[in-house]
Amino acid sequence: MKFFDLLRLILGNLSRRKARVALTAIGVVIGTAAVVILVSLGIGLQKSATDQLYGIGDLTLIDVMPTYGGEGGYYVGSGGGGPAISLSSELQEPALLTNSALEQLRLIPGVKAVIPRDYLGTQTVIRYQRMEGGVNIIGIGTNDLSTLGMEAGQGTTDLAKGTVVIGVMTPYNFYDPYQRPGQETPPPPELLNEQIQLIVIKWDQDGNEIRKTLSLRVTGILNETGGEADYSIYLPLDLVKSMNEWAYGTRINYNKTGYNQVIVKVEDPNQALDIADQITALGFQAISPQSFLQGINNTFLILQLVFGGVGAIALLVAAIGIANTMAMSILERTREIGLMKAVGATNRDVLSIFLGEAAGIGFIGGLGGIIVGWLAAQAINVIAIIYLAGQASQQGGAPPSVAVYTPIWLPIFALIFSTFIGMLSGLYPALRAATMIPVQALKYE
Amino acid sequence: MDSPLIRITDLKKHYQMGGTTVRALDGVSLDIEPHTFTVVMGPSGSGKSSLLYLLGGLDRSTSGQISIGGERLDQMDENALALFRRRTLGFIFQSYNLITSMNAAENVSFPMQFTGIPNAERNQRALQLLEQVGLADRAHHRPAELSGGQQQRVAVARALVNNPSLILADEPTGNLDTASGVTVMQLLSELHRSGRTVLVVTHDPRMTRFATHKIYLLDGHVVDEDEYQSAALEMSQGSNESLEIK
């Protein structure tokens, strides 16, 4: 039997029993709509969570730290929904982030940049006019912070000698140490293109405080990242190194001691986990936000499966409805089946016709279900975003861009799945029809 | 003389009914020549319908051989039987077996859906056959809108749609009034004259006037005309012995 003849016959048979087909298909509509809505909700929640994570951490960055040997080193794996970092109890060989190690990292395919960084390890104060503040000082081995994916909200990301690029929250750390009670608290200073003083403090053997002051011009204020960068100021690594040498009174040779931390920037966020694994294999510790993201994704995958499962229960009920309708239909059409066989239909032809009719009910219901599900998802989205935006404005958070998200694969999958469920439900009745003995079918009363 | 189109050898069809073995056919052997009009006569329960269904490959025999055109039906699997029916046979049933939701033309073209013939060609052939049975103006009527005779003529057209060489008819006039019955039998006679082999099972003796050959069945056995007539006479005289169930 040709496919189009089969299709025409199936459509004809379905249209002969419009009311029954429609009533049976309504069950499938409800089941499919439930799958579409619930899975869309799961995906929407995941998207909302991961979008926020994208805001916090650049997924193309991997933090690499040395391993000093002994027990209890970090191991950062790429797998599973479990913790992104696990403690390893194995003995590890020391692996220092020397310049030659950095060269090794640069050779890993997919690595775009390898940038060392260090913290200023002594007490510091920053001063602007009468105001002072504490701040996290990071020395960075690049003269352009955009290499790390950072963006300047004001000014530049370039780091030149005598300049500093600051995090967006840094001005809020300033206070007036001479403020008297009752006096109004000054607003955060506008620091772009202003000179600030960086006061580095150390103590001699007798406990006397020794101060060193550096004058720096603020050439850039970074965009908000939601992370450490917002409360830090960035200086060239050499400057931080020299300040650390002054503070500790000893020369630092990165070729011997290695860097405390290196940032590896990869070309494609999807490669980050693989590259982190390769770095770990070299003996270093590597932490990628991608591994956290994968953990989140795995959690949401479980959530989607649970949601999808709830929808699938509705589809299961619909499937029983299809099976019932098909069984009734076959009972009513027993003589027709006998006739089909008498005029030359093979068992396979009969099976195809009845399976096709069952699949047709699944398809019609699935089509209705994805339309209803999609419309309901859009409605939920509008209502939820209005509600969550209101909540976010009260609590000071960022409003979500999406609450329910229906990716293109979901309706396609739902349609195929509902058709398959229809076919599966019709399998037993169709097999019964196909294997009927023609003479018994023809004599059926 | 042609070699037989149908050769039946020691054909038996037994089945269980409430713990009793019913011998619907009990060692039937016969030959039917091609291009003949054969009427199988027998009272109800004589096994004539069983014979027809076995000849049509719609049922399986208990034992024995059935050969049609040199092909052994008793050795064919379900698929081969279906293809054989499609290629060689046309069926006409007492109760017409038309699909009520389809119109006359759709019913006639229905068997061709399984053959792969294009739709336009199917429609054309159906209309042509309806014209042949005198129902061209009823092509788009559903069975409920047709009389019994008209429905059976639609069934005759349907039986011809795949151009079969053998027509099997089971009590084709059983549900019809006399006039309609004669019309249908005349149609079958025309099919015979056009070169087809026609085999009709009936208990209506009026049908024998169209027949070139007659076969008499009693209690699952082939009998000669004299034996059949005397049995019929006994029945009509109110014999207590049932001719129907052994």
Contact B195/A at CB under 8 A:
no
Instruction: Say which of B59, B97, B101 has its CB closest to residue A339.
Output: B97
Give CA angle at B101 (B96, B106), nearest 5°.
Answer: 75
Q: What is the pLDDT of residue B244?
A: 43
Distances (CA, A) of A80 to A270, A273, A292, A305, A360: 16, 12, 10, 16, 39
Q: Which residues of A touch B (CB under 8 A)?
A: 1-2, 5, 8-9, 16, 335-336, 338-349, 437-439, 442
Residue B98 falls within a domain, yes or no?
yes
Residue B241 falls within a domain, yes or no?
no
Instruction: Say which of A335, A342, A349 has its CB closest to residue B56.
Output: A342
- φ, ψ of residue B218 to 5 degrees: the values are -135, 125
CB–CB contact A442 B111 (8 Å): no
> How many C-beta neighbours within 10 Å does residue A258 have?
24
Which residue matches tokens 């009520």?
B100
What dihedral do alpha carbons B117, B119, B121, B125 form, nearest 10°? 100
CA–CA separation, A434 vs A347, rounded Å? 5
Average pLDDT rounded to a whole number, residues B141-163: 92
> DSSP E strands: which ranges in A180-231?
195-203, 209-222
- φ, ψ of residue A234 to 5 degrees: the values are -110, 130
Closest-CA distance of chain A to residue B233, Å: 30
Contacts of A438 in chain B (CB under 8 A): 53, 58-59
Q: Best interface-test mutation with A: which of B48, B58, B110 has the largest number of A CBs within 10 A?
A: B58
pLDDT tens digits, residue range B172-231? 888 888 888 888 888 888 889 988 999 999 888 888 888 999 999 998 999 988 888 888
Q: What is the pLDDT of residue A194?
A: 92
Contact B49, B98 (CB under 8 A): no
Closest-CA distance of chain A to residue B55, Å: 12
Q: What is the DSSP letter of A400?
A: P
Average pLDDT rounded to a whole number, residues B148-162: 91
Of A172, A166, A155, the residue nearest A198 (C-alpha)? A166
> How many C-beta neighbours within 10 Å does residue A51 have?
13
CB–CB contact B91 A2 (8 Å): no
Of A6, A15, A75, the residue nearest A350 (C-alpha)? A6
Contacts of A353 in chain B (CB under 8 A): none
pLDDT tens digits, residue range B88-137? 999 999 888 999 889 999 999 999 989 888 989 999 999 999 998 889 99
Residue B243 falls within a domain, yes or no?
no
What dihedral do alpha carbons A64, A67, A68, A72 form, nearest 10°? 120
pLDDT in 10s for each residue of chain A, 445 residues: 888 889 988 998 899 888 989 999 999 999 999 989 988 888 888 887 777 665 556 778 888 999 876 544 444 444 433 334 444 445 556 788 888 888 989 999 999 989 998 888 888 899 998 899 888 899 998 888 888 888 888 999 998 888 999 999 999 989 888 888 888 888 889 989 999 999 999 888 888 888 899 999 999 999 887 778 888 999 999 999 999 888 888 888 888 888 889 999 988 888 888 898 899 888 888 888 777 777 777 888 888 888 888 888 888 888 888 888 888 888 888 999 999 999 999 999 999 999 999 999 999 999 999 999 999 988 988 888 788 777 767 765 566 666 788 889 989 999 999 999 999 999 999 999 999 999 989 988 7
Q: What is the pLDDT of residue A77?
A: 40
CA–CA separation, A292 vs A79, rounded Å? 10
Q: What is the pLDDT of residue A398?
A: 61
DSSP states of A52-88: HHHHHS-TTEEEEE-B-SBS-EEEE---SSS-SEEEE
Domain range for B184 is 6-236
Q: Where are the alpha helices (DSSP H) in A57-194?
A: 99-106
Which residue matches tokens 């070699």?
B3
Q: Which is more confidently placed, B234 or A350?
A: A350
Of A6, A37, A44, A11, the residue nearest A370 (C-alpha)? A37
Q: What is the DSSP letter of A95?
A: B
CA terminus-to-terminus distance, chain B: 37
The pairing of strands A285-287 and B6-17 is unpaired
CA–CA separation, A443 vs A338, rounded Å? 8
CA–CA separation, A364 vs A389, rounded Å? 37
Q: Best interface-test mutation with A: which of B83, B91, B113, B122 has the largest number of A CBs within 10 A?
A: B113
Give CA angle at B112 (B108, B115), nearest 5°.
Answer: 170
Residue B1 falls within a domain, yes or no?
no
Name the percent of chain B in helix, strand, coil, to the closest 5.
Answer: 40, 25, 35
Contact A10, A362 (CB under 8 A): no
Which residue matches tokens 């690499």?
A64
Structure tokens at A206: 């007798």
Q: What is the pLDDT of residue A93?
A: 64
CA–CA separation, B198 vs B188, rounded Å? 7
Residue B242 falls within a domain, yes or no?
no
Helix (H) or strand (E) holding B216: strand B213-218
Helix (H) or strand (E) holding B153: helix B148-160
CB–CB contact B59 A347 (8 Å): no
Instruction: Say which of B85, B113, B115 has its CB closest to residue A342.
Output: B85
Q: What is the pLDDT of residue A73?
A: 40
As a residue count, chain B comes to: 246
Cα A352 to chain center, whole Å?
43
Number of domains in chain B: 1
Contact B92, B155 (CB under 8 A): yes
ipTM score for this prediction = 0.89
Range of weakest confidence among A336-340, B47-51, B236-240:
B236-240
What dihedral do alpha carbons A102, A105, A107, A110 form, nearest 10°? -140
Which residue matches tokens 């220092």?
A96
Please, what is the average pLDDT of chain B? 88
Q: What is the DSSP letter of B143?
A: G
Contacts of B211 (CB under 8 A, 6+ apart): B37, B38, B39, B200
Contact B36, B191 (CB under 8 A): no
Contacts of A347 in chain B (CB under 8 A): 78-79, 82
Which residue matches tokens 């009272």?
B43
Burial class, B140, CB count within 10 angstroms (exposed 0-12 / middle 13-18 / buried 19+)? exposed
Contacts of B59 (CB under 8 A, 6+ apart): A437, A438, A439, B13, B50, B53
Q: Which is more confidently placed, B2 or B119?
A: B119
CA terminus-to-terminus distance, chain A: 28
Residue B218 falls within a domain, yes or no?
yes
Residue B56 is part of a domain; what is its CATH number? 3.40.50.300
> How many C-beta neighbours within 10 Å does residue A227 have?
14
Contact B167, B197 (CB under 8 A): yes
Q: Where are the alpha helices (DSSP H) in A396-408?
A: none
CA–CA separation, B246 vs B220, rounded Å? 9
